[in-house]
Structure 1
Amino acid sequence: MGIEAVVFDIGNVLIEWQPERHYDRVIGADRRRAMFDAVDLHAMNDRVDRGENFERVVRETAAAYPDWADEIMRWHDDWLHMASPTIPHSVTLLRALRRRGVPVFALSNFGIETFEIAKPVYPFLTEFDRSYISGHMGVTKPDAQIYAMVEADCGLEPGTLLFADDRLDNIEAAAARGWQTHLFDGPQGWADRLTREGLLDEEDTRP
């Protein structure tokens, strides 16, 4: 079945998302490991990605763990430092697909407020033909519902969607619905896949 749209995850596909790396820089690796052992910060972030208010969720978590309150608040105050830098080659591929007239969608676990914070810093986030942001949808990958919502909205058959994500569970959930998938482990592999599919030529995919 031919590909009618290409679907990009955002974190670790278009923008690096490495909270642990940032905390290692600002509080040191040992203290970061202790904090992440004591506080499930990724579960906190999942609440934001499902649509809860970013600042409120972080403040609630900080209040629940007073020994780590200042460090937890950095999740809010330093968020752009955790969601950086851009992966430039991936952005090149996104824009090359659009120049070729290939519809390009985003499907990302992302909070409502954090997506608004990111857009002015990363203008390519406004360049998708359709953006499916979990905070607005009230459900996150890899729940099957989010993929069904994309299908219903865009009106395309699952087998015509090619989806790149860095997490295997998200890829497997999409594949279970019949989507074509690519496990992203770097932009060159993604470029090669887009070329093999005939969506781009080699000159389109150069960094």
Structure 2
Amino acid sequence: MRNRRLLTLILLSVLLVLSACGGTDSAAEDNSDEATESPKTGLNEITLDDMITKKDNDEAFYFLIYDAKQEYVKNTKLLEAYDKALKDKDMTAYHININALDDENKQKVDTLSEEYESHSGSYHNPFEDGGIAAVHHNKVDSAYEYWGEAWSLDMLIEEVNSADNTFLDNKFYNDVKKEVQKNIDYINEQEIDLTY
């Protein structure tokens, strides 16, 4: 009887020690939770549902949206260029590739695009043309729309890819930097407090 109790106590002790050491088995899991709470400076991936939740919760943030084949995104170094330009300005933005979404999420994008169209003059629709948008006050706004200009990042991605260039080349990187600056100017002009 005494041996049985001793063996039970030993087994319980071992189980307690193992459960205390357990935690997660992946540092990436821990970091992803932290990244969700406070994204890093530069470009951060986000799901469409998370973006919509942030918008509906009246959060304010930059959001890069584009519609391009993954191969084009990789070939053109699109994300690397935006990440670099954003970091140079100590700016944080989320990004989503519409092309990589399933049909259900593409329908959600269509709804967001219709909402956007209903309150804008349509110089630039980030859901149709691509580019950085400012999400604030439960809506999506385009700095290009605000400044009365047009911009088509999605067409530019195809152009850069077909010319075997990258967005890190001076000509195209300057376009990326201008877009980043237009969005900074828009946020400052509108006195919007970002809420990462």
TM-score (norm 2): 0.30
> Which protein shows a greater Rg?
2
